[in-house]
Amino acid sequence: AVIGGEATHDERMMLRATVAGNPQPLIALNDVVFTRTALSRMVDVSVWVGDQFLTTVKADGLIVASPTGSTAYNLSAGGPIVHPALDALVITPIAPHTLTNRPIVIPAERDVRVVATGTNAGDEIYVTFDGQVGDMLGPGDSVAIHRAPYALRLLKPASHGYFQVLRQKLRWAE
């Protein structure tokens, strides 16, 4: 279909994350996930959007997802489905320890900063990028997450619409 000129493409926003103290940014298509290590019971993180404090999250974890990642781990954690054409980020707590911590959708031009706020030596948090690469965070360490400066181009058959794929993936109307 591609060679025959019968394919279409989607542009998918990607995430660029920088761990404080590491000048090498990491790129993720789906999400940046903060989870606990074997020694800590929950993540304790402060979340900033731009220069504004959003909230402190005490939960089993935290997900910052792109629209593409909204149908991955984010969806399993109770986050919303975001159409891939939207220029947005999703911040979703995983099993929050208070009922008031809820997923939020923010404009993608806003930077997200997650700061590990635990104060004990055993409060390490593990951050992963698309579940592939990770790093350990200690108290006070932070991760800055932004829209990547480039997008991923996905080629697909012209007959494959987003809602068709979503219906099949989620088995809607079965």
pLDDT at 119: 61
CA distances from 109 to 78, 85, 98, 156 (A): 24, 14, 28, 27
E strand segments, the chain: 7-19, 26-28, 31-36, 43-49, 52-65, 88-96, 104-107, 112-116, 125-129, 133-137, 142-157
Nearest Cα neighbor of 30 from 67, 69, 73 is 69
pLDDT at 122: 64
Q: How far apart are the first and last CA of the chain?
A: 29
> Which residue's structure tokens are 């031009």?
109
Q: What is the pLDDT of residues 67-92, one digit of tens each?
A: 999 999 999 999 999 999 999 999 99
Compute the mean pLDDT over every residue in the chain, rounded to the nearest whole number: 91
pLDDT at 168: 87
pLDDT at 121: 60
Q: What is the pLDDT of residues 12-47, one digit of tens each?
A: 999 999 999 888 999 999 999 999 877 667 899 999
Name the β-bridge partners of 32. 64, 129
Q: Is the dihedral of CA 167, 170, 173, 174 positive or negative?
A: positive
Instruction: Give the pLDDT band of residue 131 (cuts 50, 70, 90).
Output: very high
Instruction: Give the pLDDT band of residue 159 (cuts 50, 70, 90).
Output: confident
Question: Can you tell me the distance from the alpha carbon of 66 to that of 82, in angstroms, rounded to the nearest whole number?
Answer: 8
